Amino acid sequence: METDILKRKYVGEGMFRPLKKQRFSDQVADLIQKKILEGNLAISTNLPSEKEMAGEFQVSRSVIREALRILEISGLVLIRKGPTGGIFVSNVYHEPIKRSLNNLIASGEVTLEHLIDARMLIEPHIAREAAQHAKSEDLKKFRDLFDDSSTHLDDPEYLKQNNLKFHLMLARASGNPVLSIMLESVFELLVEQTQDFVDLPLEKHFFQLHQKILKVIEAKRPEEAERLIKEDIIDVKRKIKKLNK
């Protein structure tokens, strides 16, 4: 009896509202995302043009443009302008995190010290994991990078770029994509904050230290890899303090 009264009280009295219709741009973004992920489309795969997609989805180009903007923010596509431009499959999944942190830096809530502390927590563990899980193809990529650096030992800018690549490659070699995304978002912000500082002796020092790290990774010595990465981060911390004096 009591159940019947409750039913009469709530049914038909507007307890629930009708669902809102999803925007066309959101639907298009969802469908393109599904195609990229379920189709395992390779990075740099060229997607159809705005005009072609507008025809396929039977929507305006402005709807396609908004859908692509959503996907670009999420790191799934890269849009290049110009004669060699186009819409390409991407994998910069760290971009949303990086943007959020960048906003906090702009507001003063996040400092360089915070970023370095985060890196100190993440990267030593990454080095340990890389020493245990790096594959032969990962090791080859490291060696190729060092061979390339060895031919540019008098070019501080070139060395710096390759030294930065080393850390991102190390994250991927750990085999943990979550750690890789976290490190990339923090690391790129640190790089942007110190991009005007280039010092040849320092870059040579990092190059040599990275070679030592590779040797202990090849030898599967995780504790030593962790120690050397901590040394690397401490050196960077000293460099940043010097910049801010």
Q: Which residues contact 211 (CB under 8 A, 6 or more apart)?
A: 146
Residues 129 and 223 in one domain: yes
State how far the Cα of 168 lies from the Cα of 164, in Å rounded to an integer.
Answer: 7
Q: Is 7 inside a domain boundary?
A: no
Q: Is 212 inside a domain boundary?
A: yes
Residues 99 and 77 in one domain: no
Question: 68, 89, 110 — which closes off a domain?
Answer: 89
Residues 84 and 100 in one domain: no
Q: Which residues contact 229 (CB under 8 A, 6 or more apart)?
A: 123, 124, 126, 127, 170, 213
Q: How many domains does the chain have?
A: 2
Place of tokens 């690549």: 165
CB neighbour burial string for 116-148, b if at least 16 within 10 angstroms, e if fewer: bebbeebbbbbbbbbbeebeeebeebbeebeee
Q: What is the pLDDT of residue 11?
A: 46
> Which domain CATH number covers 204?
1.20.120.530
State how far the Cα of 122 lies from the Cα of 120, in Å rounded to an integer.
Answer: 6
Per-residue pLDDT of the chain (245 residues; tens, 9 = 90+): 444 444 444 444 555 565 456 788 998 999 999 888 888 888 889 999 999 999 999 999 999 999 999 999 888 898 988 888 899 998 788 888 998 999 999 999 999 899 999 999 999 999 999 999 999 999 999 999 999 999 999 999 999 999 999 999 999 999 999 999 999 999 889 888 877 788 899 899 999 999 999 999 999 999 999 999 999 999 888 877 776 66
The one-letter amino acid code at 240 reads I
Q: Is 1 inside a domain boundary?
A: no
Question: 72, 89, 106 — which closes off a domain?
Answer: 89
State how far the Cα of 70 lies from the Cα of 22, in Å rounded to an integer.
Answer: 14
Residues 84 and 99 in one domain: no
Residues 71 and 144 in one domain: no
Q: Is 6 inside a domain boundary?
A: no
What residues make up the domain containing 52? 13-89
> Which domain CATH number covers 44?
1.10.10.10
pTM of the model: 0.72
Residues 101 and 191 in one domain: yes
Question: 58, 89, 120 — which closes off a domain?
Answer: 89
